[in-house]
Amino acid sequence: MDRTINAIDLRVQYQTEKEKVVALRKASFTLREGKSIGIVGESGSGKTSLALAMMGLIHRKHTRSGELKLFGEPYLSLPEKEQKKHRWNTMAMMFQNSMNVLNPVMPIGKQLTERLVERKIMDSRQAEQEAESLLKSVGLEGWEAKAFPHQLSGGMQQRVLLAMAVACKPRFLILDEPTGSLDGLARAEMIQRIQSLQKQMNFAMLVISHDIKLIGELTQEIMVLYGGCVVEQGATDAVIEKPMHPYSRGLFNASVELAPYKDLWGIPGESNNGIEEGCVFNNRCTQPSSLCYRHMPSLESVSIERKVACHQNGLIHVLKGEGLSKEYDIGKKSIVALDKVYMNLRHGETLAVIGPSGSGKSTLAKVLGGFTEADEGDVFFNGKKLKEHPFSCCEEGVQLVLQDPFSALSHRMTVEEVVSEPLQINKIGDQAERKRRVKHALRDLQLSDEEKWLHRYTSSLSGGQRQRVALARALVMNPKVLIADEITSMLDVSTQANVLRLLKGLQSQKGFALLFITHDLNLGRKIADQLIVLDKGKVIEEGNANRILQINHPNNHQSPCENLIKAGLING
Ligand code: SF4
Protein backbone atom coordinates (compact mmCIF):
# COMPACT_ATOMS: atom_id res chain seq x y z
CA MET A 1 0.00 0.00 0.00
CA ASP A 2 1.37 3.39 -1.04
CA ARG A 3 1.67 5.71 1.98
CA THR A 4 3.01 8.75 0.17
CA ILE A 5 1.82 12.04 -1.26
CA ASN A 6 3.58 12.85 -4.53
CA ALA A 7 3.49 16.33 -6.04
CA ILE A 8 4.89 16.19 -9.57
CA ASP A 9 5.92 19.33 -11.49
CA LEU A 10 3.08 21.52 -10.26
CA ARG A 11 2.76 24.76 -12.20
CA VAL A 12 0.25 27.61 -11.94
CA GLN A 13 -0.22 30.50 -14.34
CA TYR A 14 -2.81 33.19 -13.67
CA GLN A 15 -4.58 34.99 -16.48
CA THR A 16 -5.15 38.63 -15.57
CA GLU A 17 -6.96 41.14 -17.80
CA LYS A 18 -3.67 42.34 -19.25
CA GLU A 19 -1.20 39.49 -19.00
CA LYS A 20 -0.30 36.02 -17.91
CA VAL A 21 1.51 35.74 -14.58
CA VAL A 22 3.41 32.60 -13.63
CA ALA A 23 2.87 32.14 -9.89
CA LEU A 24 4.42 28.69 -9.55
CA ARG A 25 6.95 27.41 -12.07
CA LYS A 26 7.70 23.88 -10.92
CA ALA A 27 7.29 22.22 -7.55
CA SER A 28 7.73 18.54 -6.76
CA PHE A 29 8.05 16.65 -3.50
CA THR A 30 7.27 13.35 -1.84
CA LEU A 31 5.82 13.18 1.64
CA ARG A 32 5.15 10.11 3.76
CA GLU A 33 2.16 9.60 6.03
CA GLY A 34 2.86 10.99 9.51
CA LYS A 35 5.61 13.32 8.19
CA SER A 36 5.60 17.07 7.50
CA ILE A 37 7.03 19.45 4.95
CA GLY A 38 7.29 23.23 5.38
CA ILE A 39 7.03 25.84 2.63
CA VAL A 40 8.66 29.23 3.21
CA GLY A 41 9.18 32.31 1.06
CA GLU A 42 8.30 35.99 0.80
CA SER A 43 4.80 37.16 -0.18
CA GLY A 44 4.22 36.39 -3.84
CA SER A 45 6.70 33.50 -3.88
CA GLY A 46 4.00 30.99 -4.85
CA LYS A 47 3.29 29.35 -1.47
CA THR A 48 -0.48 29.73 -1.51
CA SER A 49 -0.71 28.94 -5.24
CA LEU A 50 1.04 25.65 -4.48
CA ALA A 51 -1.52 24.79 -1.78
CA LEU A 52 -4.49 25.75 -3.95
CA ALA A 53 -3.07 23.81 -6.91
CA MET A 54 -2.74 20.70 -4.75
CA MET A 55 -6.32 21.04 -3.54
CA GLY A 56 -7.50 21.45 -7.14
CA LEU A 57 -8.87 24.90 -6.27
CA ILE A 58 -7.27 26.97 -9.05
CA HIS A 59 -10.08 28.53 -11.09
CA ARG A 60 -10.58 27.13 -14.59
CA LYS A 61 -9.77 30.44 -16.28
CA HIS A 62 -6.19 30.05 -15.04
CA THR A 63 -3.77 27.29 -16.03
CA ARG A 64 -2.56 24.55 -13.76
CA SER A 65 -0.42 21.61 -14.77
CA GLY A 66 1.35 18.74 -13.04
CA GLU A 67 -0.07 15.96 -10.93
CA LEU A 68 -0.70 15.18 -7.29
CA LYS A 69 -0.75 11.53 -6.36
CA LEU A 70 -2.61 10.81 -3.16
CA PHE A 71 -1.35 7.51 -1.79
CA GLY A 72 -0.60 6.21 -5.26
CA GLU A 73 -3.80 7.51 -6.93
CA PRO A 74 -3.69 10.48 -9.36
CA TYR A 75 -5.90 13.25 -7.99
CA LEU A 76 -5.58 16.34 -10.17
CA SER A 77 -6.40 14.48 -13.38
CA LEU A 78 -9.73 13.32 -11.89
CA PRO A 79 -12.93 15.10 -12.99
CA GLU A 80 -14.03 17.84 -10.56
CA LYS A 81 -16.85 15.64 -9.22
CA GLU A 82 -14.38 12.92 -8.26
CA GLN A 83 -11.92 15.42 -6.80
CA LYS A 84 -14.71 16.70 -4.54
CA LYS A 85 -15.02 13.25 -2.96
CA HIS A 86 -11.39 13.43 -1.83
CA ARG A 87 -11.44 17.08 -0.80
CA TRP A 88 -11.85 17.34 2.98
CA ASN A 89 -11.99 13.53 3.26
CA THR A 90 -8.59 12.38 2.01
CA MET A 91 -7.05 15.85 1.87
CA ALA A 92 -8.05 19.00 3.79
CA MET A 93 -6.76 22.52 4.18
CA MET A 94 -6.78 24.99 7.04
CA PHE A 95 -6.99 28.45 5.50
CA GLN A 96 -5.25 31.40 7.08
CA ASN A 97 -7.94 34.04 7.41
CA SER A 98 -10.70 32.84 9.72
CA MET A 99 -12.99 35.81 9.00
CA ASN A 100 -13.08 34.92 5.30
CA VAL A 101 -13.66 31.23 5.91
CA LEU A 102 -16.21 31.14 8.73
CA ASN A 103 -19.82 31.93 7.92
CA PRO A 104 -20.79 34.83 10.24
CA VAL A 105 -24.46 33.80 10.46
CA MET A 106 -24.06 30.08 11.13
CA PRO A 107 -23.25 28.57 14.54
CA ILE A 108 -19.75 27.12 14.79
CA GLY A 109 -20.95 23.56 15.49
CA LYS A 110 -23.02 23.47 12.33
CA GLN A 111 -20.13 24.76 10.23
CA LEU A 112 -17.85 22.13 11.72
CA THR A 113 -20.02 19.16 10.88
CA GLU A 114 -21.74 20.46 7.75
CA ARG A 115 -19.72 18.17 5.50
CA LEU A 116 -20.22 15.12 7.71
CA VAL A 117 -24.00 15.52 7.54
CA GLU A 118 -23.95 16.41 3.83
CA ARG A 119 -22.04 13.23 3.07
CA LYS A 120 -24.38 11.24 5.29
CA ILE A 121 -21.54 10.14 7.52
CA MET A 122 -23.76 10.99 10.52
CA ASP A 123 -27.18 12.43 11.33
CA SER A 124 -27.68 15.87 12.86
CA ARG A 125 -27.97 14.56 16.46
CA GLN A 126 -24.69 12.68 16.20
CA ALA A 127 -23.20 15.74 14.50
CA GLU A 128 -23.93 17.87 17.58
CA GLN A 129 -21.91 15.51 19.78
CA GLU A 130 -19.17 15.28 17.16
CA ALA A 131 -18.88 19.09 17.01
CA GLU A 132 -18.28 19.20 20.74
CA SER A 133 -15.67 16.49 20.64
CA LEU A 134 -13.91 18.14 17.67
CA LEU A 135 -13.76 21.42 19.57
CA LYS A 136 -12.31 19.63 22.59
CA SER A 137 -9.70 17.95 20.39
CA VAL A 138 -8.29 21.39 19.52
CA GLY A 139 -8.26 22.60 23.14
CA LEU A 140 -11.64 24.38 23.25
CA GLU A 141 -14.39 23.52 25.73
CA GLY A 142 -17.30 22.47 23.55
CA TRP A 143 -19.79 25.28 24.31
CA GLU A 144 -18.32 27.17 21.35
CA ALA A 145 -20.42 24.91 19.07
CA LYS A 146 -23.45 27.10 19.83
CA ALA A 147 -21.57 30.39 19.35
CA PHE A 148 -21.29 32.50 16.22
CA PRO A 149 -17.80 33.37 14.87
CA HIS A 150 -17.87 37.00 16.09
CA GLN A 151 -18.39 35.75 19.65
CA LEU A 152 -14.99 33.99 19.62
CA SER A 153 -11.51 35.48 19.91
CA GLY A 154 -9.03 35.30 17.00
CA GLY A 155 -7.17 32.43 18.69
CA MET A 156 -10.40 30.48 19.20
CA GLN A 157 -11.44 31.02 15.59
CA GLN A 158 -8.07 29.71 14.45
CA ARG A 159 -8.63 26.54 16.48
CA VAL A 160 -12.10 26.17 14.98
CA LEU A 161 -10.49 26.24 11.52
CA LEU A 162 -8.13 23.47 12.61
CA ALA A 163 -11.05 21.42 13.96
CA MET A 164 -12.88 21.98 10.67
CA ALA A 165 -9.88 20.80 8.65
CA VAL A 166 -9.55 17.55 10.62
CA ALA A 167 -13.31 16.91 10.93
CA CYS A 168 -13.35 14.27 8.17
CA LYS A 169 -10.10 12.68 9.43
CA PRO A 170 -8.01 13.49 6.34
CA ARG A 171 -4.81 11.60 5.57
CA PHE A 172 -3.17 14.73 4.17
CA LEU A 173 -3.52 18.14 5.83
CA ILE A 174 -2.41 21.50 4.43
CA LEU A 175 -1.99 24.35 6.94
CA ASP A 176 -1.69 27.89 5.58
CA GLU A 177 -0.16 30.21 8.23
CA PRO A 178 -1.72 28.24 11.12
CA THR A 179 -0.45 30.67 13.77
CA GLY A 180 -0.53 33.85 11.66
CA SER A 181 -2.61 36.11 13.93
CA LEU A 182 -1.88 34.49 17.29
CA ASP A 183 0.02 35.91 20.26
CA GLY A 184 2.95 34.00 21.79
CA LEU A 185 0.96 31.87 24.23
CA ALA A 186 -1.83 31.01 21.77
CA ARG A 187 0.84 30.21 19.16
CA ALA A 188 2.59 27.74 21.46
CA GLU A 189 -0.73 26.04 22.30
CA MET A 190 -1.65 25.81 18.62
CA ILE A 191 1.69 24.17 17.77
CA GLN A 192 1.18 21.65 20.53
CA ARG A 193 -2.38 20.86 19.30
CA ILE A 194 -1.21 20.36 15.74
CA GLN A 195 1.57 18.05 16.90
CA SER A 196 -0.72 15.96 19.05
CA LEU A 197 -3.42 15.70 16.34
CA GLN A 198 -0.80 14.55 13.85
CA LYS A 199 0.48 11.95 16.29
CA GLN A 200 -3.06 10.73 16.91
CA MET A 201 -4.29 10.73 13.30
CA ASN A 202 -0.96 10.12 11.51
CA PHE A 203 -1.77 12.48 8.63
CA ALA A 204 0.89 13.80 6.26
CA MET A 205 1.17 17.57 6.68
CA LEU A 206 2.25 20.50 4.54
CA VAL A 207 2.76 23.74 6.48
CA ILE A 208 2.97 27.11 4.75
CA SER A 209 4.34 29.95 6.82
CA HIS A 210 6.59 32.97 6.83
CA ASP A 211 7.46 32.01 10.43
CA ILE A 212 10.62 29.95 9.97
CA LYS A 213 10.79 29.05 13.64
CA LEU A 214 7.33 27.48 13.36
CA ILE A 215 8.47 25.47 10.33
CA GLY A 216 11.47 24.36 12.40
CA GLU A 217 9.14 23.13 15.13
CA LEU A 218 6.57 21.38 12.95
CA THR A 219 8.37 19.88 9.97
CA GLN A 220 11.18 17.51 9.01
CA GLU A 221 11.63 18.82 5.48
CA ILE A 222 11.58 22.34 4.06
CA MET A 223 11.12 23.88 0.62
CA VAL A 224 12.18 27.49 0.03
CA LEU A 225 10.16 29.19 -2.71
CA TYR A 226 11.19 32.31 -4.59
CA GLY A 227 9.52 33.81 -7.65
CA GLY A 228 7.46 30.64 -8.08
CA CYS A 229 10.54 28.37 -8.08
CA VAL A 230 11.77 25.96 -5.45
CA VAL A 231 15.27 27.33 -4.82
CA GLU A 232 16.27 25.06 -1.94
CA GLN A 233 14.93 21.83 -0.49
CA GLY A 234 16.26 19.63 2.30
CA ALA A 235 16.01 18.51 5.91
CA THR A 236 14.53 21.41 7.91
CA ASP A 237 17.15 21.43 10.69
CA ALA A 238 20.06 21.34 8.25
CA VAL A 239 18.66 24.04 5.94
CA ILE A 240 17.98 26.40 8.86
CA GLU A 241 21.43 25.66 10.31
CA LYS A 242 23.25 26.28 7.05
CA PRO A 243 21.19 27.55 4.12
CA MET A 244 22.96 27.07 0.79
CA HIS A 245 20.98 29.26 -1.60
CA PRO A 246 21.68 33.03 -1.44
CA TYR A 247 17.95 33.69 -1.16
CA SER A 248 17.41 31.23 1.72
CA ARG A 249 20.26 32.82 3.64
CA GLY A 250 18.79 36.30 3.05
CA LEU A 251 15.32 35.15 4.08
CA PHE A 252 16.53 33.54 7.31
CA ASN A 253 18.65 36.60 8.14
CA ALA A 254 15.49 38.69 7.95
CA SER A 255 13.65 36.41 10.38
CA VAL A 256 13.21 37.95 13.81
CA GLU A 257 11.97 34.61 15.17
CA LEU A 258 15.26 32.91 14.31
CA ALA A 259 17.57 35.74 15.31
CA PRO A 260 15.94 37.88 18.00
CA TYR A 261 19.23 39.49 19.06
CA LYS A 262 20.68 40.13 15.64
CA ASP A 263 20.39 43.24 13.51
CA LEU A 264 17.95 42.37 10.76
CA TRP A 265 18.79 42.92 7.11
CA GLY A 266 16.20 42.42 4.39
CA ILE A 267 17.34 41.33 0.94
CA PRO A 268 18.07 44.44 -1.16
CA GLY A 269 15.89 44.87 -4.26
CA GLU A 270 12.45 43.67 -5.25
CA SER A 271 11.27 40.26 -6.35
CA ASN A 272 10.70 40.09 -10.10
CA ASN A 273 8.26 37.33 -11.04
CA GLY A 274 8.30 38.49 -14.65
CA ILE A 275 11.85 37.24 -15.32
CA GLU A 276 11.60 35.13 -18.48
CA GLU A 277 15.20 34.04 -18.86
CA GLY A 278 17.84 33.20 -16.33
CA CYS A 279 17.65 32.74 -12.59
CA VAL A 280 14.61 34.33 -10.92
CA PHE A 281 16.91 35.74 -8.22
CA ASN A 282 19.48 37.30 -10.58
CA ASN A 283 18.39 40.91 -9.98
CA ARG A 284 19.02 40.58 -6.22
CA CYS A 285 21.90 38.13 -6.12
CA THR A 286 25.42 39.38 -5.31
CA GLN A 287 27.26 36.39 -6.84
CA PRO A 288 25.80 36.01 -10.35
CA SER A 289 27.74 34.72 -13.34
CA SER A 290 26.85 35.47 -16.96
CA LEU A 291 24.99 32.13 -17.13
CA CYS A 292 22.60 33.38 -14.44
CA TYR A 293 21.15 35.90 -16.95
CA ARG A 294 20.70 33.35 -19.73
CA HIS A 295 19.49 30.10 -18.21
CA MET A 296 17.18 29.23 -15.38
CA PRO A 297 18.95 26.85 -12.99
CA SER A 298 17.21 23.57 -12.19
CA LEU A 299 16.90 22.11 -8.72
CA GLU A 300 19.85 19.72 -8.32
CA SER A 301 21.28 17.66 -5.47
CA VAL A 302 24.37 19.37 -4.07
CA SER A 303 24.87 17.12 -1.05
CA ILE A 304 23.06 14.36 0.80
CA GLU A 305 19.44 15.39 1.30
CA ARG A 306 20.00 18.90 -0.12
CA LYS A 307 18.86 20.33 -3.42
CA VAL A 308 19.61 23.84 -4.64
CA ALA A 309 18.62 25.69 -7.82
CA CYS A 310 21.76 27.72 -8.52
CA HIS A 311 24.38 27.74 -11.28
CA GLN A 312 27.08 28.17 -8.61
CA ASN A 313 25.76 25.22 -6.56
CA GLY A 314 24.61 27.71 -3.92
CA LEU A 315 26.73 30.11 -1.93
CA ILE A 316 30.31 30.12 -3.21
CA HIS A 317 32.95 28.91 -0.76
CA VAL A 318 35.34 31.86 -0.94
CA LEU A 319 37.81 31.13 1.85
CA LYS A 320 38.71 27.77 3.30
CA GLY A 321 41.25 26.83 5.92
CA GLU A 322 42.19 23.16 6.10
CA GLY A 323 44.12 21.72 9.03
CA LEU A 324 45.87 25.00 9.90
CA SER A 325 48.52 24.68 12.60
CA LYS A 326 51.00 27.28 13.79
CA GLU A 327 53.50 27.38 16.63
CA TYR A 328 55.64 30.26 17.86
CA ASP A 329 58.97 29.70 19.57
CA ILE A 330 59.48 32.06 22.46
CA GLY A 331 62.86 31.40 24.03
CA LYS A 332 62.94 27.68 24.65
CA LYS A 333 59.19 27.42 24.78
CA SER A 334 56.86 26.56 21.92
CA ILE A 335 53.44 28.20 22.01
CA VAL A 336 50.67 26.56 20.00
CA ALA A 337 48.73 29.35 18.32
CA LEU A 338 46.65 27.19 15.97
CA ASP A 339 46.00 23.49 16.22
CA LYS A 340 44.45 21.85 13.14
CA VAL A 341 41.87 24.53 12.48
CA TYR A 342 39.31 23.97 9.73
CA MET A 343 37.07 26.80 8.62
CA ASN A 344 34.90 27.69 5.68
CA LEU A 345 33.61 31.12 4.72
CA ARG A 346 30.98 31.54 2.03
CA HIS A 347 30.04 34.46 -0.20
CA GLY A 348 28.29 37.26 1.68
CA GLU A 349 28.53 35.43 4.97
CA THR A 350 29.76 36.76 8.30
CA LEU A 351 31.83 34.25 10.21
CA ALA A 352 32.73 35.43 13.69
CA VAL A 353 35.84 33.94 15.24
CA ILE A 354 35.39 34.33 18.98
CA GLY A 355 37.80 33.49 21.74
CA PRO A 356 39.62 34.95 24.71
CA SER A 357 42.99 36.71 24.36
CA GLY A 358 45.71 34.29 23.30
CA SER A 359 43.25 31.80 21.78
CA GLY A 360 44.82 32.16 18.31
CA LYS A 361 42.26 34.49 16.69
CA SER A 362 44.72 37.04 15.31
CA THR A 363 47.11 34.34 14.11
CA LEU A 364 44.20 32.77 12.25
CA ALA A 365 43.36 36.16 10.68
CA LYS A 366 46.95 36.62 9.49
CA VAL A 367 47.24 33.08 8.15
CA LEU A 368 43.92 33.36 6.29
CA GLY A 369 44.89 36.75 4.90
CA GLY A 370 48.21 35.35 3.63
CA PHE A 371 50.29 37.58 5.93
CA THR A 372 51.74 34.68 7.95
CA GLU A 373 52.36 31.17 6.74
CA ALA A 374 50.93 28.21 8.63
CA ASP A 375 53.33 25.44 9.70
CA GLU A 376 50.81 22.92 8.45
CA GLY A 377 47.63 23.05 6.41
CA ASP A 378 46.44 25.14 3.50
CA VAL A 379 44.31 28.17 2.81
CA PHE A 380 42.17 28.23 -0.31
CA PHE A 381 40.66 31.34 -1.86
CA ASN A 382 37.97 30.57 -4.44
CA GLY A 383 39.35 27.03 -4.64
CA LYS A 384 42.98 28.11 -5.28
CA LYS A 385 45.84 27.80 -2.82
CA LEU A 386 46.66 31.14 -1.22
CA LYS A 387 50.37 30.19 -1.07
CA GLU A 388 50.53 30.05 -4.85
CA HIS A 389 48.27 33.04 -5.56
CA PRO A 390 48.78 36.09 -3.33
CA PHE A 391 45.14 37.13 -3.21
CA SER A 392 45.78 39.82 -0.62
CA CYS A 393 47.57 41.87 -3.30
CA CYS A 394 44.90 41.91 -5.96
CA GLU A 395 41.48 43.26 -6.69
CA GLU A 396 38.53 41.09 -5.64
CA GLY A 397 40.83 39.21 -3.26
CA VAL A 398 41.30 39.18 0.50
CA GLN A 399 41.80 42.33 2.57
CA LEU A 400 42.70 42.61 6.24
CA VAL A 401 41.76 45.47 8.57
CA LEU A 402 43.51 45.56 11.92
CA GLN A 403 42.46 46.47 15.41
CA ASP A 404 44.52 49.63 15.91
CA PRO A 405 43.56 52.41 13.49
CA PHE A 406 46.38 54.60 14.84
CA SER A 407 49.26 52.31 13.88
CA ALA A 408 47.51 50.89 10.77
CA LEU A 409 47.65 54.24 8.92
CA SER A 410 50.82 56.25 8.46
CA HIS A 411 50.32 59.63 10.12
CA ARG A 412 52.56 61.21 7.47
CA MET A 413 50.10 60.41 4.68
CA THR A 414 46.92 62.17 3.63
CA VAL A 415 43.54 60.43 3.44
CA GLU A 416 43.80 60.26 -0.35
CA GLU A 417 47.31 58.81 -0.27
CA VAL A 418 46.38 56.17 2.29
CA VAL A 419 43.24 54.99 0.48
CA SER A 420 44.78 55.01 -2.99
CA GLU A 421 48.02 53.30 -1.89
CA PRO A 422 46.88 49.69 -2.55
CA LEU A 423 45.68 50.73 -6.04
CA GLN A 424 48.99 52.43 -6.70
CA ILE A 425 51.13 49.54 -5.41
CA ASN A 426 49.18 47.08 -7.53
CA LYS A 427 49.23 49.44 -10.54
CA ILE A 428 45.46 49.55 -10.83
CA GLY A 429 44.01 52.37 -12.97
CA ASP A 430 45.51 55.75 -13.89
CA GLN A 431 45.52 58.70 -11.52
CA ALA A 432 42.02 59.90 -12.44
CA GLU A 433 40.56 56.40 -12.08
CA ARG A 434 42.28 55.94 -8.72
CA LYS A 435 40.89 59.25 -7.47
CA ARG A 436 37.39 58.28 -8.59
CA ARG A 437 37.64 54.99 -6.71
CA VAL A 438 39.06 56.64 -3.59
CA LYS A 439 36.15 59.10 -3.52
CA HIS A 440 33.66 56.30 -4.05
CA ALA A 441 35.14 54.23 -1.21
CA LEU A 442 35.09 57.24 1.13
CA ARG A 443 31.45 57.95 0.30
CA ASP A 444 30.60 54.28 0.95
CA LEU A 445 32.07 54.70 4.42
CA GLN A 446 30.07 57.92 4.89
CA LEU A 447 33.20 60.08 4.81
CA SER A 448 33.53 63.30 2.88
CA ASP A 449 35.04 63.18 -0.62
CA GLU A 450 35.81 66.91 -0.77
CA GLU A 451 39.34 67.99 -1.72
CA LYS A 452 39.87 69.57 1.69
CA TRP A 453 39.17 66.25 3.37
CA LEU A 454 41.24 64.22 0.88
CA HIS A 455 44.26 66.34 1.75
CA ARG A 456 43.95 66.00 5.50
CA TYR A 457 46.67 64.07 7.29
CA THR A 458 45.44 60.94 9.03
CA SER A 459 47.03 62.17 12.27
CA SER A 460 44.29 64.83 12.44
CA LEU A 461 41.45 62.26 12.39
CA SER A 462 39.56 60.76 15.32
CA GLY A 463 39.76 57.01 16.07
CA GLY A 464 36.39 56.33 14.42
CA GLN A 465 37.33 58.33 11.30
CA ARG A 466 40.66 56.53 11.05
CA GLN A 467 39.01 53.13 11.27
CA ARG A 468 36.58 54.12 8.51
CA VAL A 469 39.52 55.32 6.39
CA ALA A 470 41.21 51.94 7.04
CA LEU A 471 38.02 50.20 5.87
CA ALA A 472 37.85 52.45 2.78
CA ARG A 473 41.47 51.48 2.00
CA ALA A 474 40.45 47.80 2.13
CA LEU A 475 37.16 48.20 0.24
CA VAL A 476 38.73 50.26 -2.55
CA MET A 477 40.14 46.90 -3.74
CA ASN A 478 36.59 45.42 -4.00
CA PRO A 479 37.54 42.43 -1.86
CA LYS A 480 35.57 39.19 -1.92
CA VAL A 481 36.73 38.58 1.65
CA LEU A 482 37.27 41.17 4.34
CA ILE A 483 39.07 40.05 7.48
CA ALA A 484 38.29 42.41 10.33
CA ASP A 485 40.52 41.77 13.33
CA GLU A 486 38.94 43.33 16.44
CA ILE A 487 38.26 46.45 14.37
CA THR A 488 35.96 48.05 16.90
CA SER A 489 37.78 47.19 20.10
CA MET A 490 39.49 50.59 20.34
CA LEU A 491 36.39 52.61 19.53
CA ASP A 492 33.82 54.08 21.89
CA VAL A 493 30.44 52.29 21.92
CA SER A 494 28.61 54.78 19.74
CA THR A 495 31.37 54.86 17.08
CA GLN A 496 31.57 51.07 17.28
CA ALA A 497 27.82 50.78 16.56
CA ASN A 498 28.08 53.19 13.60
CA VAL A 499 31.07 51.39 12.08
CA LEU A 500 29.43 47.97 12.41
CA ARG A 501 26.11 49.02 10.90
CA LEU A 502 27.94 50.67 8.04
CA LEU A 503 30.01 47.56 7.42
CA LYS A 504 27.00 45.22 7.51
CA GLY A 505 25.06 47.54 5.19
CA LEU A 506 27.94 47.52 2.69
CA GLN A 507 28.20 43.76 2.97
CA SER A 508 24.52 43.29 2.20
CA GLN A 509 24.87 45.56 -0.90
CA LYS A 510 28.19 44.26 -2.22
CA GLY A 511 28.15 40.68 -0.98
CA PHE A 512 31.71 40.39 0.37
CA ALA A 513 32.32 37.72 2.99
CA LEU A 514 33.34 38.99 6.40
CA LEU A 515 35.61 37.17 8.82
CA PHE A 516 35.01 39.04 12.04
CA ILE A 517 37.52 38.40 14.79
CA THR A 518 36.35 39.40 18.24
CA HIS A 519 36.59 38.50 21.90
CA ASP A 520 33.14 39.97 22.46
CA LEU A 521 30.35 37.40 22.38
CA ASN A 522 27.68 40.11 22.21
CA LEU A 523 29.18 41.58 19.05
CA GLY A 524 29.28 38.09 17.54
CA ARG A 525 25.63 37.62 18.43
CA LYS A 526 24.74 40.90 16.70
CA ILE A 527 26.37 40.33 13.35
CA ALA A 528 27.46 36.73 12.75
CA ASP A 529 25.80 34.12 10.53
CA GLN A 530 28.25 31.38 11.45
CA LEU A 531 30.54 31.14 14.42
CA ILE A 532 33.81 29.51 15.44
CA VAL A 533 34.88 29.50 19.07
CA LEU A 534 38.65 29.17 19.53
CA ASP A 535 40.36 28.17 22.74
CA LYS A 536 44.12 27.57 22.97
CA GLY A 537 44.32 27.41 19.18
CA LYS A 538 41.61 24.73 18.85
CA VAL A 539 38.08 25.05 17.49
CA ILE A 540 35.84 24.04 20.38
CA GLU A 541 32.47 25.09 18.97
CA GLU A 542 31.25 25.92 15.50
CA GLY A 543 28.04 26.30 13.52
CA ASN A 544 25.09 28.59 13.07
CA ALA A 545 25.51 31.65 15.30
CA ASN A 546 21.81 31.96 16.11
CA ARG A 547 21.71 28.37 17.30
CA ILE A 548 24.89 28.50 19.35
CA LEU A 549 24.06 31.78 21.02
CA GLN A 550 20.35 31.32 21.52
CA ILE A 551 19.09 28.75 23.95
CA ASN A 552 15.52 28.50 22.60
CA HIS A 553 16.49 28.09 18.94
CA PRO A 554 14.37 25.37 17.21
CA ASN A 555 17.51 23.40 16.30
CA ASN A 556 19.06 23.70 19.73
CA HIS A 557 18.53 20.30 21.20
CA GLN A 558 21.13 20.82 23.91
CA SER A 559 22.58 23.73 25.82
CA PRO A 560 25.09 25.60 23.67
CA CYS A 561 26.70 27.30 26.62
CA GLU A 562 29.06 24.68 27.93
CA ASN A 563 31.84 25.35 25.43
CA LEU A 564 31.43 29.10 25.72
CA ILE A 565 31.79 28.88 29.50
CA LYS A 566 34.85 26.67 28.97
CA ALA A 567 36.38 29.33 26.73
CA GLY A 568 35.69 31.96 29.40
CA LEU A 569 33.36 33.85 27.04
CA ILE A 570 30.39 33.76 29.37
CA ASN A 571 30.09 33.20 33.08
CA GLY A 572 29.02 29.74 34.15
S1 SF4 B 1 24.41 32.62 -8.43
FE2 SF4 B 1 23.14 32.79 -10.24
S3 SF4 B 1 21.85 30.98 -10.20
FE4 SF4 B 1 22.72 31.20 -8.16
S5 SF4 B 1 21.18 32.37 -7.05
FE6 SF4 B 1 22.64 33.85 -7.86
S7 SF4 B 1 21.75 34.50 -9.79
FE8 SF4 B 1 20.73 32.62 -9.20
Query: Where do the domains of the chain lie, and which CATH numbers do they carry?
Result: 1-90+170-260 (3.40.50.300), 104-165 (no CATH), 317-410+476-566 (3.40.50.300)
Examine the pLDDT at 486 and tell me if it is beyond 60.
yes
Query: What gap in Å lies between CA 117 and CA 183, rounded to an integer?
Result: 34
Cβ pair 191, 180 in contact under 8 A: no
For 221-278, the pLDDT digits (tens) are 999 999 999 999 999 999 999 999 999 999 998 888 887 777 777 888 887 766 778 9
Do strands 538-544 and 530-535 pair parallel, antiparallel, or not at all (unpaired)? Answer: antiparallel
Is the beta carbon of 314 within 6 A of some atom in ligand 1? no
**How far apart are the CA of 288 and the centre of ligand 1, in A?**
5
Average pLDDT, the chain: 88
Amino acid 340: pLDDT: 96
**492 confidence band (pLDDT: 50, 70, 90):** confident
Examine the pLDDT at 559 and tell me if it is beyond 60.
no
**How far apart are the CA of 243 and the centre of ligand 1, in A?**
14
* Pairwise pLDDT comparison (388 vs 56), residue with the higher score: 56
Examine the pLDDT at 35 and tell me if it is beyond 90.
yes
Q: Which atom of ligand 1 is nearest to the CA of 291?
A: 2
Examine the pLDDT at 556 and tell me if it is beyond 60.
no
Query: What gap in Å lies between CA 533 and CA 542, rounded to an integer?
Result: 6
Q: Which atom of ligand 1 is nearest to the CA of 247?
A: 5
Is the beta carbon of 288 within 6 A of some atom in ligand 1? yes
**How far apart are the CA of 315 and the centre of ligand 1, in A?**
9
Is the beta carbon of 198 within 6 A of some atom in ligand 1? no
Q: What angle do CA 63, 68, 71 make, to 5 degrees?
A: 165
* Pairwise pLDDT comparison (394 vs 199), residue with the higher score: 199
**457 confidence band (pLDDT: 50, 70, 90):** very high
Q: Which atom of ligand 1 is nearest to the CA of 280?
A: 8
Amino acid 206: pLDDT: 97
Amino acid 566: pLDDT: 64
Examine the pLDDT at 307 and tell me if it is beyond 60.
yes
Is the beta carbon of 248 within 6 A of some atom in ligand 1? no
Is the beta carbon of 391 within 6 A of some atom in ligand 1? no
Q: Could you say which DSSP state residue 297 is in?
A: P
**560 confidence band (pLDDT: 50, 70, 90):** very low
Backbone angles phi, psi at 193, to 5 degrees: -60, -45
**How far apart are the CA of 68 and the centre of ligand 1, in A?**
29
Question: Picking from 259-263, 377-381, 555-559, which range would have the lowest pLDDT averaged per residue?
Answer: 555-559
Is the beta carbon of 423 within 6 A of some atom in ligand 1? no
Amino acid 293: pLDDT: 94
Range picked from 85-94, 96-105, 284-293, 355-364 for highest mean pLDDT: 284-293
Is the beta carbon of 244 within 6 A of some atom in ligand 1? no
Tell me how far CA of residue 110 lies from CA of 101, 119, 127, 143, 242, in angstroms.
14, 14, 8, 13, 47
**How far apart are the CA of 250 and the centre of ligand 1, in A?**
13
**How far apart are the CA of 304 and the centre of ligand 1, in A?**
21
